Chain A
Amino acid sequence: MARELLTGNAAAAWGVRLADVDYVPAFPITPQTEIIETLSGWYSDGTMKGKFVTMDSEHSMLTAAGAASATGARVFTATSSQGLLYAFEVLYSVAGWRVPLVMVNVSRALSSPITLEPDHNDILSARDCGFLQIHTETCQEVLDSVIMSYKLAEDRRVLLPVLVNLDGYYLSFTREPVEIPDADKVKDFLPQYKPDHASFHASGPMAQGLAVLGGYIYSYFKYQMHLASLNALSVHEEIAEEFYNLFGRKYGVVEEYKLDDAEYVLIMSNTFATKGKAAVEKFREIGCKVGLLRLRVVRPLPTKKIQDILKNRKGTAVIDQNISIGYGGIFYSEIAALMCNEANKPVILSFICGLGGKDISMKEFQKILDDTINASLTGNIPGTQLLYTDVEWAKMKHLLDVAGKPVI
């Protein structure tokens, strides 16, 4: 075991290397490219055994990944933002093939206007396709999640592909200390993949992804995918336990930070949860009982777990780093829905922040907390709030002015 400073991208590549992946079809896109660059280096110098192929687009890339996975190869691929959208059609296809490939998405806000910085509209657009989704906060978690994802995806109770999400820049290009597990130990944890359902090979022809007419046939297959996805919750618990015993790091389907006695709960995902934790520390210093729930396994959504955590609390604030235009926060709608039939539920407030990498200042966390406490006391629950600061507004007005649009 070695401890190194790694970027989120390098950590993802290390996860792939330790998982002994056979095939990587690739296409570059900022801020993901470092992952495939690292892997291409390892394949070309013989550090990794297998095949690395550059493709003409993300659409072809994911098609190749799915097809290779259907031959029984262990497959990895990675993309980001517009690239994920370009591969969108294939996401549904390969999930339907029930092939256990692992794909990393490095979150980057979607065009337009065009940016390179993160938010989660890209990854959440793939919410309904059948891929499992694991959202990560630290570089260590990226590495560990890639390894765990193969075990999860390849389990017969699941057999669905997995998307591991990490934030562009704030994780992809950020180095922090990461423990790189021993390769032998990873081999024990993750034995070779041996499929019996999708395993094309020369002497064994089979058909995949057939046309089905008559809704009951289609429904059967989709329901099976849904049931398999739900299975992933308990399988994740098993795998996480085994991972903990071998490597000493514990991952839940959600992360509970200072929740034991918390009256108020912030709900966040991905790297900015670190900022949320710092805010929790600050609020606790002045005696306010706040904790943070970080969404990690997002598909399947651990509804029961979240219900158990949230019931009997006074207030919850869902901080969405995404926006469903014309509705509001995507996670808010999911949390509100899963709590709607619970007795003793907290007030649930919705905040949008961090779009396109916008910072979340302490002042904004303070507002989130103040509004949540206020709503729990008065019962007046405000609608979705789009967080912005006067300092940002002043800078924005200046930019509008430069663009020839003076604000009167």
Chain B
Amino acid sequence: MIRIRFHGRGGHGMKTAGRIAGTAAFLEGYYAQDFPVYGAERRGAPITAYTRISKDRILERGIFSEPDIVIIADESLINDPAANPLQGVTKKTITIINTMVNDIKDKFSILGIVNTIDATGLCLEIIGKGSAVSAALGGAACRIIGIIQKDNLINAVIKELKNINLPEELIEKNVEVAEKCYEILSPIIIQHGEDIPDSPIETITLPYQYPTMSSPSVFSSGNIIEKKTGGWRIFKPVINLEKCNKCWICFVYCPEGVISLDESEYPHIDYDHCKGCLICYEECPVKVITVEREIETW
């Protein structure tokens, strides 16, 4: 059994990546099971998708916490507690990260084999858009496990993207992306973890607690400011203050309310929370906002 776990944000296409891997394995003659887990459907919120591939019938369901392969669609997810993509990663796990950061393994002390791929760059180059990386990372997963022929990957990409009603032309470009990933990467031998016979879990008897504790209420004040929502940015707007005429149009139009004005009434962007929608860039009447590819959000 091979267990692959995909981590991304709403909009990255990780549910589809999981399905591409599932379908490709199914076409290859394996048993496959795939499913996504997400809360409220919202762009940018962390989602996880799971794919199991096996020669025999799969007697497992639901989430798994000992993945053989972890695919991460964006390095800003690594430290996000809501995503927790490194959960269950051991010396035997293979982690594939879509990133341009070089020393990522050491930086985040990731155990096991770590490979990086600039899937966003590939998508930008071939498709002209970098937000959805489903074909790239689905393709990466299929290549890494070493049991999927290229034809079946291509057929799986076509099938799954047709399923979400992508136009023909876009599907072709996605196929190209998947093929490219297939060529760039090579199979890695999967070292299965043991069957975890002595898991450290113990069952307990839950104590009664007063409703001050046990009713589903929250007493602490808002902490949303601590939640950095800028991680999803692919492009970063940068204001050239020297040329800015202080018209405040960007300040008014920013849907996230993350542009503030300083004492001299110049606009400043809070990059911890700017989602990179580029509305400010579109709206600035004198075009003094430029756009840079985001390399490393934080």
Binding site for B on A (CB under 8 A): 5, 7, 30, 112-113, 116, 169-170, 173-177, 271-272, 274-275, 277-278, 281, 357, 359, 361-364, 367, 385-391, 393, 400, 402-405, 407
Chain B residues whose CB sits within 8 angstroms of the CB of A407 once the complex forms = 213
Binding site for A on B (CB under 8 A): 19, 22-23, 26, 31-37, 39, 41, 58-63, 199-206, 212-213, 216-221, 223
Known contacts A169-B35, A405-B213; decide if A176 and B199 are in contact (CB<8 Å).
Answer: no
Task: Point out the residue from B33, B200, B202, B212 that lies within 8 Å of A405, measured CB to CB.
Answer: B212
Q: Is the CB of A278 within 8 A of B26?
A: no
Q: Which residue of B lies closest to A281 (CB)?
A: B59
Q: Which residue of A lies closest to B223 (CB)?
A: A402
Bound state CA distance, A278 and B35, in angstroms? 19
Smallest CB separation, A250 vs chain B (Å): 16
- Which of A176, A271, A387 has the most CB atoms of chain B within a 10 A radius of its CB? A176
Task: Point out the residue from A112, A174, A177 that lies within 8 Å of B61, measured CB to CB.
Answer: A174
Q: Is the CB of B218 within 8 A of A170?
A: no
Q: Which residue of A lies closest to B51 (CB)?
A: A175
Main secondary structure of the interface of A (DSSP, over half): mixed
Q: Is the CB of A361 within 8 A of B199?
A: yes
Q: Is the CB of A362 within 8 A of B199?
A: yes
Task: Point out the residue from B35, B199, B205, B217 that lies within 8 Å of A175, measured CB to CB.
Answer: B35
Q: Is the CB of A170 within 8 A of B202?
A: no
Q: Is the CB of A177 within 8 A of B203?
A: no
Chain B residues whose CB sits within 8 angstroms of the CB of A278 once the complex forms = 59-60
Chain B residues whose CB sits within 8 angstroms of the CB of A272 once the complex forms = 61-62
Q: Is the CB of A177 within 8 A of B201?
A: no
Q: List 17 A-B contacts (CB under 8 A).
A: A7-B35, A113-B216, A116-B39, A170-B35, A174-B61, A175-B19, A176-B31, A176-B33, A176-B58, A271-B61, A271-B62, A272-B61, A362-B199, A389-B203, A403-B220, A405-B212, A407-B213
Bound state CA distance, A364 and B199, in angstroms? 11
Known contacts A364-B203, A387-B203, A404-B220; decide if A170 and B26 are in contact (CB<8 Å).
Answer: no
Chain B residues whose CB sits within 8 angstroms of the CB of A402 once the complex forms = 220, 223
Smallest CB separation, A91 vs chain B (Å): 28
Bound state CA distance, A169 and B36, in angstroms? 8
Bound state CA distance, A272 and B62, in angstroms? 9
Bound state CA distance, A275 and B64, in angstroms? 12
11 further A-B contacts with Cβ under 8 Å, apart from A174-B61, A363-B199, A405-B212, are A112-B216, A169-B35, A272-B62, A277-B59, A278-B60, A363-B201, A385-B205, A389-B201, A389-B202, A404-B219, A404-B220
Smallest CB separation, B130 vs chain A (Å): 26
Q: Total A-B pairs in contact (CB under 8 Å)?
A: 97
Bound state CA distance, A386 and B208, in angstroms? 12
Q: Is the CB of B32 within 8 A of A390?
A: no
Chain A residues whose CB sits within 8 angstroms of the CB of B19 once the complex forms = 5, 175
Q: Is the CB of A5 within 8 A of B23?
A: yes
Chain B residues whose CB sits within 8 angstroms of the CB of A387 once the complex forms = 203
Bound state CA distance, A104 and B199, in angstroms? 38
Q: Is the CB of A390 within 8 A of B33?
A: no
Chain A residues whose CB sits within 8 angstroms of the CB of B58 once the complex forms = 176
Task: Point out the residue from A5, A359, A390 that lies within 8 Å of B202, measured CB to CB.
Answer: A390
Task: Point out the residue from A30, A174, A362, A367 that lies within 8 Å of B33, measured CB to CB.
Answer: A174
Q: Is the CB of B60 within 8 A of A359?
A: no
Known contacts A400-B213, A405-B213; decide if A359 and B63 are in contact (CB<8 Å).
Answer: yes
Bound state CA distance, A364 and B33, in angstroms? 24
Q: Is the CB of A175 within 8 A of B203?
A: no
Bound state CA distance, A174 and B62, in angstroms? 9
Chain B residues whose CB sits within 8 angstroms of the CB of A5 once the complex forms = 19, 22-23, 26, 32, 34
Smallest CB separation, B122 vs chain A (Å): 26
Bound state CA distance, A175 and B60, in angstroms? 13
Chain B residues whose CB sits within 8 angstroms of the CB of A30 once the complex forms = 41
Q: Is the CB of B32 within 8 A of A176?
A: yes
Q: Is the CB of B220 within 8 A of A274?
A: no
Task: Point out the residue from B35, B201, B220 that lies within 8 Å of A173, measured CB to CB.
Answer: B35
